[in-house]
Amino acid sequence: MSHEIFQNYINGQWVGSSAAIENINPSDTSDIVGHYAKASSEDCLAAIAAANAAFADWSKSGLEQRKQVLDFIGAELIARSAEIGEILAREEGKTRAEGVGEVYRSGQFFQYYGAEALRLMGENTQSVRPGVDVEVHREALGVVGIVTPWNFPMAVAAWKVAPALAYGNAVVLKPAELVPASAWILADIISRSGLPAGAFNLVMGSGRDVGETLCTSPDIQAVTFTGSVGVGRHIARNAIDNMARVQLEMGSKNALVVLDDADMDTAVNCALAGGYFGTGQKCTASSRIIVQSGIHDAFVEKLSAAVSKLVVGHALGEGSQIGPVVDARQLQQNLDYMQIAKDEGAELLVGGERLNLDTDGFFMSPALFVNTTNQMRINREEVFGPIACVIKVDSYEQALEVSNDSDFGLTSGIITNSLHHAGHFKRHSQSGCVMVNLPTAGTDYHVPFGGRKNSSYGPREQGSSAREFYTIVKTNYSKPY
C-alpha cells in the first residue's frame, strides 16, 4: 500500500488537496489501490482557466506536433498495457485480461486520432454566384469538459480525450470518483507527451461538486459525458443554459435475438459474452435475450449450464471469468433487482446470490431468468449487473417488435443463419449498433459509436464521426478576381 497521494494535474503542475479519495479494490476491500487528491470547485475553475489560456496556442499547433503527442500517449499505453491493465482491474474489478485489453485499446484510440489529425479535410466548392469560391473549414471549439463513468475507466477517457486534443481543443477531465487511478495514469503519460501546459487538465473528485462546476461553467464550449440517463439529462440542461455543445452516452437495455435457425454454440457464446463478461457492467451488455420458441428450451438448457460454470473470482485470480461488482451500492442494487424480478413472476434458473470468497469483495453469481415478459421492470430498467432475462417469442416479427419496445437503443444483436432475417433486422432494429452473429458488446474504434432514444444524445463518438462534435465548421466565401 502506498502512502503517496496522487495529485490533480492543472496547468502542467501536480496540485495537492486537503481531501483525498480512497480507491478500494472491489475484489478485496483490504487492498487500497491508492489515495487520490480530491479536487475542489476552485481547482476545477483553475483548470478551466488554464485550459482557456492554453487553447490559443494548442488550437494553432501544427498537425505533425499533434500527431507526435498523440502517438507518444498511445505508444506508452500499449507498451505498458499489462502493468496498467492490472491496476485498472484492481480499481474497477474487471478481469486482468479485460483490463489489459482496455488499456491496449485505449492506446489504439490515441494512435488512430494521431493519424486522424492529419486527415482533417475541408470542402472546396463553387458558389451559386459565378466567380465566387467557397471553402468549408473545420476549427477547434475551445475547452471541452469531459465527464466519464467508472465502468471503462481508461477507454471512455481515451475515446474522448484523444479526438478532443487531435482537433486542437483543450481539455478538463473529471473521471468517476470510484476509479481515479486509470485517469491519473493517463494524466501522468500526457504530462510527459510534449503537450503544452494547460491543454489537458485532470480534476478528480465528485460529480456533485467538481463535475457540476465543470459542466455549468460558461467558459467551456462543449461537454461530453458518459454515464447514467439522469445525470446526462441534468448536464444537457446546464449546457443549453450556456449554449455549450453537448454529447451524451448513457444506459441501455440491449436485446439479443436468437432465432430457430441459429447456430447453437454461437448463440450461447454470444449470450454469455454479451450478458455477463465485464460483470454485466457494460452499456452494450445484452440483458434481454429474446428467443424463438422452436430453439427456446434447448438454448435455455445450454445457456443456464454455461452460466452456472462461469468462474467468479478476484479480478486478478487465475481462471477468473467474472470479477466482482464495482461497489457495495451497485451490489445491493443488483440484489434488489433480483427480488423485483422474482416478485414480478420471473423464474430464476441459476445464480443471483451474494458470494463469500477468500477475499472480502463484492461478488455475486451470474443470474439467468426465464419466463419473463418485456413489460417487467427487470426488462425495462437498466440493472448494470450480471443478470440476464430470456423472453420467449413465436416469430421473427415478434422478436423484432419486442427488441424495439424499449426506452433505450444503444446496441442490439441477432443470431441467425437467415440472410433475410439478418438483413431485415439490420434495417429495422432501433439501435445505434447492430450485431449479426456477434455479441452486443465489443465495438471498433475507427467507426461511429452511439445509440438512439434514451441511450445517446448529440453527435456520434469514435471514428471520423468524432470530428462532428470536436470541431466547428466555418464557411468562407471569396471572389479571387
Interface residue list for Mg ion (CB under 5 A): 23, 91, 178
Residue 463 backbone dihedrals phi, psi, to 5 degrees: 60, -165
Q: Which three cell numbers stand for residue 456?
A: 445517446
Is 242 a binding residue for ligand NAP by CB under 6 A? The answer is no
Span of 66-74, 113-121, 246-254, 436-444 interacting with ligand NAP by CB under 6 A? 246-254
Among 7, 221, 226, 320, binds ligand NAP (CB under 6 A): 226
Per-residue contact track with ligand NAP, 192 to 221, x per CB under 6 A? --------------xxx--xx--x------
Do residues 370 and 300 lie in contact, with contact meaning Cβ atoms separated by under 8 Å? yes
Letter for the amino acid at 429?
S
Indicate which of Mg ion, ligand NAP, none lies near residue 231 (CB less than 5 to 8 Å, by partner kind): ligand NAP
Name the helix (H) or strand (E) containing 292: strand 286-292
> Beta partners for 255?
288, 412
Is 366 a binding residue for ligand NAP by CB under 6 A? The answer is no
Q: Which residues contact 264 (CB under 8 A, 6 or more apart)?
A: 295, 298, 299, 302
Q: Judged by CB, which is closer to Mg ion: 91, or 116?
A: 91
Q: Judged by CB, which is closer to ligand NAP: 361, or 409?
A: 409
Q: Is 249 a catalytic residue?
A: yes
Name the helix (H) or strand (E) containing 189: helix 180-191
Q: Which three cell numbers stand for residue 315?
A: 479480478
Q: Cα Rg for the chain, rounded, in angstroms? A: 23
Shortest distance in whole angstroms from residue 205 CB to ligand NAP: 7
Among 143, 181, 235, 307, binds ligand NAP (CB under 6 A): 235
Is 41 a binding residue for ligand NAP by CB under 6 A? The answer is no
Is 231 a binding residue for ligand NAP by CB under 6 A? The answer is yes
Shortest distance in whole angstroms from residue 480 CB to ligand NAP: 46
Is 380 a binding residue for ligand NAP by CB under 6 A? The answer is no
Rounded CA gap, 8 and 184, in Å?
8
Q: Judged by CB, which is closer to ligand NAP: 416, or 429?
A: 429
Please pick, among 76, 102, 249, 461, the residue that the annotation labels catalytic.
249
Letter for the amino acid at 437?
N
Rounded CA gap, 69 and 66, in Å?
5
**CA-to-CA dists, residue 146 to 41, 143, 465, 470, angstroms:** 15, 10, 17, 12
Please pick, among 283, 382, 389, 433, the residue that the annotation labels catalytic.
283
Q: What angle do CA 471, 472, 475 make, to 5 degrees?
A: 135
Helix, strand and coil percent figures for the chain, each rounded to 5: 40, 25, 35
Is 109 a binding residue for ligand NAP by CB under 6 A? The answer is no
Q: Judged by CB, which is closer to ligand NAP: 113, or 384?
A: 384
Q: Which residues are catalytic?
A: 249, 283
- Residue numbers at the binding site for ligand NAP (CB under 6 A): 147-152, 174, 176-178, 206-208, 211-212, 215, 226-228, 231, 234-235, 249-251, 283, 382, 384, 410, 455
